Amino acid sequence: MARGYLELREPDNQVHRRHDPKSEVDPVELELDDLFQTNPRTGLTTEQAAHRLQTFGPNEIVEHRPNQLLKFLSYFVGPIAFLIQLACIISAVVKDWFNFTIILGLLFLNAIIGYVEESRAESAVDALRQTLALKTRCWRDGQLQELDTSVLVPGDIIVLRLGDIVPADAKLLGLSSSGTETDGDLLVDQSALTGESLAARKKKGDEVYSSTVVKQGQQMAVVTKTGLKTYIGMAAHLIATTQDEGHFQKIIGRIGNFLIIFTLILVITIVIIQFLNPTNPDRGQVLQILGPALILAVAAIPVGLPTVMAVTMAVGARGLAAKQVIIKRLAAVEEMSSLSVLCSDKTGTLTLNELTFDEPYLNTGYSSNDLLMYSYLASEFGANDPIELAVRTAAEHQVPLLRNRPASHKVPGYDITAFVPFNPSVKYTEATVRDTNTGATFKVAKGAPQVIIKLVGGNDPAVRAYMAMAKRGLRALGVAKTVEGSKDQWVLVGLASMLDPPRPDSASTIEKCQRMGIQVKMVTGDQQIIAKEVARRLGLGRVILDASYLANSSAEEEQISDRFNRADGFAEVTPEHKFRIVDVLQKRGLLVGMTGDGVNDAPALKKANVGIAVHGCTDAARSAADIVLLAPGLSTIIEGILASRAIFQRMRSYALYRITSTVHFLMFFFVVIVVHDWTLPAKLLILICILNDAATLVIAVDNAQVSAQPDKWRVGQLIFLSCFLGFLLTGLSFGHFYYFKNVAGYYPWSEGTEPTPDDRKLDSIMYLHISSAPHFLIFSTRLTGFFWESVPSVMFISVIVGTQVIALLMVIFGWLTPAVPATQALAVFAISFVSCIFLDLIKVLVFKYWTLGSNSLTCAPCGPRRKMLQKRKRDAVLQQRVWKSIDKAHGVVAKTKVLLAIRDGGSKIPQTMHDVSWDRQAAAVEY
């Protein structure tokens, strides 16, 4: 028990025992008791230690790192990559080396950009890596040596003292470093392990755990578990088993699969028709037919989709790094924009992880400074007990007399002539003090509130104040002094209350998150009453579930899920509980973020869609997280969310543009190839692919509107709108094709013919149109509203327009394609731009009238969609009942107001049943 402090729950350390990690870890059969029978005065011999090191392995937890070559090769895996590789192989077989080089270059460009950008993020995190416990003092060969923690083995005798980080799980021996017995306990900070803000007291025979910190005392201990067998090692194993596919990868996979299936169906149809066409000179030659078809497929398939997405996220990640937010996993940038729930660890994340004085109860005639001064006089100098430290820190900060003293262990004007330290039997400290100015002597006592209240002969207001503090989860401390001229007549000075306070920016950060549509749920290992008090101060709700709800195996999964979703926080949780909280919320379809700083947070950080390690986090938390915050507090999370939502808008803009372009490209060429056996030369198709996709890389630096609510990939809406816009563009393309074919006389010559360059002017016209019309559409797709509502960046405008000006000049001057009259080229260019205004209006209408509930679910209500639709219907019926009940209550209130007004002479009869000028509270008072 902490000095001068009475636990609010009896027996002592009840809460700590409930959450002691010892109860969570099963014993390891290999580590038998005879291994621990080491002579504490000599320790193990070098030979014994070497043998055990071979048996149990080094005392370290090695972070799993993927092979860099395999990681690079992973960028060549996927449906889009496989199709590009197939096109590359066929181009090589038919000896089309130009297309082979271009396609192979695109393939490697995608892989290199993705690999380099993610490796750069990992390097930034490696530069932050800290080693918690590098050296330790250990008895070996009869000598006390300083050894690397990695060479510790079960049975080693280590010395733990103030400030040490425990290097391995160990059992306390009750011996000092010299080998003599000691009655002093160790005070150990386990907040990084259990989440509890108050340090735990450990006595002889208790076990201490790796990476906890010794706050007070000194003892020898025998190592019981090392490496992966420690409590931290068990958490690391839980982290390693969490390897879910990211949300962003799933979305990109769905979009890519749709485009590939759509492309393959049309391309295969073209190949079959060409193969069976009796007029085709290449009939029966599969490779000669398949080669151009695959070129068409590569030009249509968004080979740059992964590249543009990766560059967009990488640019955003660099911007966040300047704001002290390090992105470890690039996809986390996008996933953060869709977060709907943010689970935050309390101790050290929402709070400061240090006890401070709160609003005290003061007896008549005493001030807050008096309470702090007398508490300071009754404190043990040099003790590192958190209660004593909080008392001294608050007094030295607030009491003018204690500031800027020449000797920090003396109090000006007072001499402490006698001091009785804390005794668990009486539960208070006592100091005898002489006032050097008057010569008067008095006593001061500080300790458990009920003991101090009993010492002064009782005080009912103080008892009520103490009970109120206890109900709020505040640590209370009573202070009393003897009256002048008496040594045994005591008077109460007051009751000090202490709490681990919220960080200054936590409440505002939570409020901003809530305004942005993100639920914030507090997760802590502390008691439920403490969690409720902290939640009140942070502006969270008071619905805090304790461990009994988390461990309830009899409740149905849907019931548990609903409880978790409605809860504002969770108390008395273990690492497994945190993991389960994240898992249950994810199964509801929610994207969950988790913040934390300790080892106990690491499994949940890994499991969450976005794991966020805060400033000062442990190495385990940093390794498990996707994002690392370098600045104290949570305010930088807001910066990250805003940046991620801007990045999401850019990526959705590109996805909408690219799907529309693919649908337009394939539908147009499918028809003209089947009907007219005509297509653009391969060099022009590849040029469209390279120029347009390369140009859209600048979308990463475009201005973007940030949504007020969490973003979501509505893939059904995206594909529907893309197909609709693509069909309209296809109609525009046919208009160009048939106008210039029938009016201008540009005949669509097939690839097998050899016309003069002037006879292939239709190639130039259609190249300019197919390059510019979909490309200008990106000015519309960058917003959900009208394109003029947000001005694009100067670089964005310059690059997008610049690439199309190059295409315009190509067809005017005859670069790589026959020249056409400037008037015709400018007309095509202008029509492409103007058509985007019409398409922009259609896009706005679709976004305005498309709702997730009425369209994407009801169009195909199967599987999970059916369950979601049924649940929404049930919720709608329940909500309707609630509104009816509210309306009935309003009716009763209105009728009551009428009756009250009639009683008062009718002067206040409301004009309507819902007259808002009526004050319900005032009416109740009058009544």
* Residue 878 structure tokens: 């329940």
Question: What is the rounded distance in angstroms from the CA atom of residue 904 to the CA atom of residue 922?
Answer: 14
Question: What is the rounded distance in angstroms from the CA atom of residue 523 to the CA atom of residue 196?
Answer: 11
Question: What is the rounded distance in angstroms from the CA atom of residue 386 to the CA atom of residue 409?
Answer: 18
For 183, residues 6+ apart whose C-beta sits below 8 A from its C-beta are 174
CA 264 to chain centre: 38
Q: How far is CA 268 from CA 95, 504, 689, 751, 841, in A?
A: 21, 63, 20, 19, 35
3-state secondary structure string across 692-723? HHHHHHHHHHCCCCCCCCCCCCCHHHHHHHHH
φ/ψ of residue 581, rounded to 5: -60, -50
- Classify 272 as helix, strand or coil: helix
Query: Could you give the dihedral angle defined by the CA atoms of residues 52, 56, 58 and 60, in that order, rounded to the nearest 10 degrees?
Result: -140
* Residue 775 structure tokens: 């490309």
Query: Could you give the dihedral angle defined by the CA atoms of residues 285, 290, 292 and 296, in that order, rounded to the nearest 10 degrees?
Result: 160
Question: What is the rounded distance in angstroms from the CA atom of residue 679 to the CA atom of residue 737?
Answer: 11
Q: In this structure, are residues 670 and 296 in contact, taking their beta carbons and an 8 Å threshold?
A: no
Among candidates 35, 25, 65, which has minimal Cα distance to 229?
Answer: 25
End-to-end CA, the chain: 54
* Residue 501 structure tokens: 């306070």
Among candidates 699, 838, 834, which has minimal Cα distance to 769?
Answer: 834
Residue 124 is which amino acid? A
Helix (H) or strand (E) holding 286: helix 286-300
Question: What is the rounded distance in angstroms from the CA atom of residue 386 to the CA atom of residue 397?
Answer: 16
Give CA angle at 594 (590, 595), nearest 5°. Answer: 155
Query: What is the arrangement of strands in the sheet containing 592-596, beginning at the earlier edge strand?
Result: 325-327, 627-629, 610-613, 592-596, 341-345, 519-523, 569-570, 544-545
Instruction: Give DSSP secondary structure letters for 221-250.
Output: EEEEE-GGGSHHHHHHHHHHT--PPPHHHH
CA 517 to chain centre: 15
DSSP 8-state assignment for residue 554: S
Catalytic one of 156, 206, 345, 500: 345
Helices 822-849 & 715-742, crossing angle to 10 degrees?
150
Helices 97-126 & 305-322, crossing angle to 10 degrees?
20
Q: In this structure, are residues 804 and 747 in contact, taking their beta carbons and an 8 Å threshold?
A: no
Whether 345 sits among the annotated catalytic residues: the reply is yes
CA 906 to chain centre: 60
Question: What is the rounded distance in angstroms from the CA atom of residue 370 to the CA atom of residue 1?
Answer: 26
- CB burial class (10 A; 0-12, 13-18, 19+) of residue 181? exposed
Question: What is the rounded distance in angstroms from the CA atom of residue 734 to the CA atom of residue 741?
Answer: 10
Among candidates 335, 876, 238, which has minimal Cα distance to 603?
Answer: 238
Pairing of β 490-499 and β 441-447:
unpaired
Positions annotated as catalytic residues are 345
